[in-house]
Amino acid sequence: VEANVGFDTICKVNSQLISNICTDALSAEKYYYFVRLMGRKHSHVALECTLQSHPNMVILGEEVTASKLTIFDIAKQICDAVQARAEQDKNHGVILIPEGLVESIPELYALLKEIHGLLKDGVDAGKISTQLSPWSSALFEFLPPFMKKQLLLHPESDDSAQLSQIETEKLLAYLVETEMNKRLKEGTYKGKKFNAICHFFGYQARGSLPSKFDCDYAYVLGHVCYHILAAGLNGYMATLTNLKSPVNKWKCGAAPITAMMTVKRWSQNVGSTSIGRPVIHPATVDLKGKAYDLLRQNAQKLLMEDMYRNPGPLQYDGPGADAKAVSLCVEDQDYMGRIKKLQEYLDQVRTIVKPGCSQDVLKAALSVMASVTDVLTTISSSSTSGQQFA
């Protein structure tokens, strides 16, 4: 699945709002804006909005997880960026944060899990702080009151935190302000007093009219669903690939839902036997992908040079109406097209390697196919084991 219906709309609306904030930051020259974006655990929206609007900095959950960054590591990164910009007489900036960042920070995620376990056991929210493990208790007591209250909220039905209610952007702004005031007193920071303004962009984009791309996308998916029903298929999901091309070049298909499912483990309590449930495994931001690589290539320029970009409002006709997500355009995600190409290669092999072919052709084919099979088996098993217990 190259894109979800609604992703294009959410990113375009948020990017316009972010660009407005960038303009205000550049005008006022005295505020740092911390903007939290919807998107649950994964950071696709934050990445795409960064590529569209060019804020100074973005914190991706996948980066935090891969590098095992703590909340203090992230705060230090931001503080160092603020100090570097202040040395160029820039006392403003815009920082994007994904909604699910709190679940990517190891110590906060461990604290959340412990709190959720106690809530499941029926422990009153007001007494949880006294029953936490020593390490979690120390972290909990360190947090500001608003964050304590939000972490004590009951989890969603899938055991995840109420991410929209946890103001991670305010926690980061609080930690950064504390550290910058400390540096100011010590004389290591010589810029202006740090001032932060926080925003959460969720409902603004979710309540928007759909973009032209999403209108076309949903319409064609509905058309494909009709053909799936007409063919008598059950348990299939309509899919479209080659979405970066014009609509008349989109490729329609149907994928069995079971092919997209893995087993996720849930446990009722810490130490109890886990229960496996089939789920559709969501795709994370690929840290080896072209979209992320594009971000990394420009990260330093975005941080220091204020390359703010305003994509403007949604367009339904004329210039900009057919603009697509940057991450969609730079990635080569034509899955069904690749399947078709593979099938063509296999058909060619069948026409060459058949009864009557020479011994040399047969030996070469066996050697190559054995190597390919070994490589694919290794890749397949490693990717499956990585997803199965996510």
pLDDT, tens digit only, all 390 positions of the chain? 788 899 999 999 999 999 999 999 999 999 999 999 987 778 999 999 999 999 999 999 999 999 999 999 999 999 999 999 999 999 999 999 999 899 899 999 999 989 888 888 888 888 888 888 999 999 999 999 999 999 888 877 767 788 888 899 999 999 999 999 999 999 999 889 999 999 999 888 888 899 999 999 999 999 999 999 999 999 999 999 889 999 999 999 898 888 878 777 766 555 566 777 788 777 888 888 899 999 999 999 999 999 999 999 999 998 889 999 999 888 766 566 677 788 888 888 888 988 988 988 888 888 888 888 888 888 776 554 444 433
- Please indicate, yes or no, whether residues 268 and 297 belong to a single structural domain of this protein: no
- Is 334 part of any domain? no
Name the residue range of residue 66's domain: 7-208+286-305
Question: What is the structure's pLDDT at 50?
Answer: 96
Q: Any idea of the CA torsion for 73, 78, 80, 81, to the nearest 10 degrees?
A: 150
H or E element that contains 81: helix 71-86
Q: What is the 3-state secondary structure (H, E, C) of 288-357?
A: CCHHHHHHHHHHHHHHHHCCCCCCCCCCCCCCCCCCCCHHHHHCCCCHHHHHHHHHHHHHHHHHHCCCCC
Contact 263, 284 (CB under 8 A): no
Same domain, 55 and 183: yes
From the list 286, 322, 311, the residue with the least C-alpha distance to 54 is 311
pLDDT at 271: 58
SS3 state of residue 126: helix
Least Cα distance to 127 among 142, 137, 135 occurs for 137
Rounded CA separation 270/267 (Å) = 7
Task: Give the pLDDT of residue 380.
Answer: 72
Q: Residue 116 belongs to a domain with what CATH number?
A: 3.40.50.460
- Predicted local confidence at residue 127, as pLDDT: 86
Domain membership of residue 348 (yes or no) is: no
Give the C-alpha separation, 82 to 303, whole Å.
Answer: 9
Structure letter (DSSP) for residue 273: P
Task: Say yes or no: 298 and 243 in one domain.
Answer: no
- Total number of domains constituting the chain: 3
Mark whether 225 and 146 lie in a shared domain: no
Same domain membership, residue 139 and residue 61: yes
Task: Give the DSSP letter of residue 244.
Answer: T
Tokens of 91: 């006392």
145 within a domain of the structure (yes/no): yes
Q: Are residues 101 and 237 in the same domain?
A: no
Domain termination residue (choose one: 305, 340, 365): 305
Answer yes or no: is 291 within a domain: yes
Structure tokens that stand for 251 in this block: 């490729």
Return the pLDDT at 77.
95
Q: What is the pLDDT of residue 387?
A: 44
* 301 in the same domain as 271: no
Residue 123 tokens, joined: 């422990």
Q: Specify the pLDDT at position 389.
A: 36
Contact residues for 199 (Cβ-Cβ < 8 A; gap 6+)? 21, 33, 34, 35, 36, 169
Q: Of 203, 201, 204, 209, which is closest to residue 9 (Cα–Cα)?
A: 209
Mark whether 164 and 115 lie in a shared domain.
yes
Is 384 in the same domain as 359? yes
The SS3 call for residue 34 is strand
Distance CA 14, CA 31 (A): 19
Beta strand 236-241 with 251-256 is: antiparallel
Contact 177, 194 (CB under 8 A): yes
pTM: 0.81
* Domain end among 230, 249, 282: 282
* Helix (H/G/I), strand (E/B), else coil: 4: coil
| Cα 18 to Cα 56: distance, rounded to the nearest angstrom | 11
In the block, tokens 């980061």 appear at: 172
Judge if 187 and 114 occupy the same domain: yes
Residues 232 and 380 in one domain: no
Residue at token pair 């990260």: 299
Q: Are residues 199 and 242 in the same domain?
A: no
| CA dihedral for 102, 105, 107, 110, sign (positive or negative) | positive
Helix (H, G, I), strand (E, B) or coil at 382: helix
